[in-house]
DNA sequence: GCTTATTGCTAGCCAGGCTAGATACTTTGG
DNA sequence: CCAAAGTATCTAGCCTGGCTAGCAATAAGC
């Protein structure tokens, strides 16, 4: 089961790389594009600051990212309706088309695969994945390398130290 | 269910980043280290060529990677027993300790989570993940996309070359 | 009306990929 | 055995995509 999980992870990673290169952009840029489109679909506005936060990159890197995606014709910068320091990032029709073209079918097929899971097993699948995610959220935040002497049983820590 | 899958993916990615930075290295280097240790555990020898193949990076990049991990005291280069062009990459005791310290507990806990899945649902979980992985393997390789704008010029190496 | 916080941008740096070419060794064919 | 071709690693130098520091413009608080 863990092996299947690992295989999924690798396949997912590879797929992302392929889709990105297929669209002549890198993985982060594709993530950004999807974020912008999702924001539009949700009736919200996407700002550079929001992108930076979502992607865990700096605002400076976000500026460069917007330059790339604007130059490639996927995004446009438009004035923010209320905050004149900021701006609104909008996906072009081309970007919408391209993302739909590349991802809609895949998502549909993924939903199909999900539906193929026997309904009595679905809660187990979900619980498995959620428990795994929750566990991983607590792992890895061990800032000071301990001298290997005591396990110290650090449980229940989660604060994600990125900064 | 798909949402849970997505959450797992994000958590996994984050965890990898945290573990890596916690060990003062990047994600690729950690992957390399695990590969070397796994090879040792399997009674095989790890070569730079093997690393390059496993990590989907060039041999030149692998040389740099080995330089980093050798300098940091995680790996050593040793002569290859049969092929004198090549060499064998060996993890230091320190690397073994560090990886065990960081990952053993996590893996154990993951196995626990897997065991918590009702046995009658396990085949469904596995099948779901395998089907998803198999599907993702077939996605993304869509070269023929009608150009809605300019094909972005040929000199643009806008993406990493993949093996 | 000032002062402070925040937003996005510019400038310049660095890590970690890449390709090309050099070197050393192995394999293969006569 | 020797030459040619193939393979493994390393070096040199480039590019992308992150980063921090600092700026002008605007917003928010006193």
Provide CB contacts within 8 A for A8, sequence distance 6+: B5, B129, B130, B132, B133, B136
Give the separation between CA B33 and CA B97, rounded to whole angstroms.
12
Give the containing element (helix H, strand E) for A140: none
Q: Which of A9-13, A135-139, A153-157 bottoms out in mean pLDDT, i.e. has the lowest?
A: A153-157
Are B149 and A94 within 8 A, CB to CB? Answer: yes
- pLDDT tens digits along A73-123: 999 999 999 999 999 999 999 999 999 989 999 999 999 999 999 999 999
Residue A149 has pLDDT above 80, yes or no: no
Task: Determine, for residues A14 and B136 on separate chains, whether the beta-carbon distance falls below 8 Å.
Answer: yes
- Can you tell me which residue has its alpha carbon closest to the C1' of nucleotide C15? B26
Q: Tell me: pLDDT of A142 over 60.
A: no
CB contact A67 to B (< 8 Å) = no
* Residue from A92, A45, A89 nearest A65 by CA: A89
| The two structure tokens encoding residue B59 | 């041999």
pLDDT, tens digit, for every residue of B119-163? 999 999 999 999 999 999 998 765 543 333 333 333 333 333 332
Return d(Cα B35, Cα B46) in angstroms, integer: 8
Spans of chain B, pLDDT less than 50: 144-163
Query: For position A151, what pLDDT does the model report?
Result: 34
Give residue numbers, 70 to 109 of A, with CB < 7 Å from strand C: 77, 83, 85-87
Percent of chain A residues topping a pLDDT of 90: 82
Residue A155 has what pLDDT? 36
Q: What Rg do the C-alpha atoms of chain B give, in angstroms? A: 20
Residues of chain A found within 8 Å of residue B122, distances taken between Cβ atoms = 1
- Contact state of A121 with B125 under an 8 Å Cβ cutoff: yes
Give A 27-56 residues with CB within 8 A of chain B: none
Place of tokens 């890895």: A140
d(CA B76, CA B99): 16
Q: What is the structure's pLDDT at A140? A: 72
Residue B139 is predicted with a pLDDT of: 80
pTM score of the predicted model? 0.82
Q: Is the pLDDT of residue A7 over 80?
A: yes
Mean pLDDT for the stretch of residues A6-34: 95
DSSP annotation of B46: B
pLDDT value for B140: 72
Distances from the Cα of A84 to the Cαs of A79, A151, B123, in angstroms? 7, 53, 55
Chain B hits for A17, CB-CB cut-off 8 Å, are 140, 160, 162
Write the residue in B12, B17, B139 that is nearest to A15 by C-beta: B139
Minimal Cα distance from B11: which residue of A? Answer: A133
3-state helix, strand, coil in chain A (%, to 5): 60, 5, 30
């Amino acid at each position: 089961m863990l092996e299947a999980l690992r295989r999924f992870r690798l396949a997912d990673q590879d797929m992302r790389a392929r889709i990105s290169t297929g669209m002549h952009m890198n993985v982060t840029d594709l993530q950004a594009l999807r974020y912008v489109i999702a924001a539009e679909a949700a009736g919200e506005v996407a700002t550079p600051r929001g992108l930076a936060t979502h992607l865990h990159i700096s605002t400076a890197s976000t500026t460069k990212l917007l330059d790339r995606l604007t130059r490639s014709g996927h995004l446009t910068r438009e004035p923010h309706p209320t905050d004149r320091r900021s701006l609104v990032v909008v996906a072009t029709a081309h970007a919408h088309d391209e993302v739909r073209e590349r991802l809609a079918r895949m998502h549909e097929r993924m939903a199909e695969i999900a539906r193929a899971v026997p309904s009595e097993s679905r809660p187990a699948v979900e619980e498995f994945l959620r428990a795994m995610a929750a566990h991983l959220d607590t792992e890895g935040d061990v800032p000071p390398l301990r001298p290997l002497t005591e396990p110290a049983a650090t449980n229940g820590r989660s604060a994600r130290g990125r900064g």
